[in-house]
Amino acid sequence: MSSQEGQKVLGRTLLRGLSTIVTPDLILRWHWELVAKKWGYSDRDRKVGRRHTKQEVAELVVRIAKANPT
């Protein structure tokens, strides 16, 4: 049995035929958001780039640079 047997295509035409309290576009948006949430991996903690420099280190670098302008 294929995975698509017994499934209906969720589209605007089908949804317009249903009597609902929400619009077909809203139902589709909810569906798209669920799909994006599942496949977007937004729940993973992805830290990109360089870590923040501690204030003490930044001040030390500025002090050394001022003391040695060349």
Provide φ and ψ at 62, rounded to 5°.
-65, -40
The domain limits of the chain are 8-42
Query: pLDDT digit string (tens) for 23-49?
Result: 878 888 988 988 888 877 665 666 677
Who wins on pLDDT, 3 or 58?
58
Residues composing the chain: 70
Side-chain half-sphere CA neighbours of 21 within 13 A: 0
Provide φ and ψ at 8, rounded to 5°.
-105, 150
CA distance 18 to 21: 10
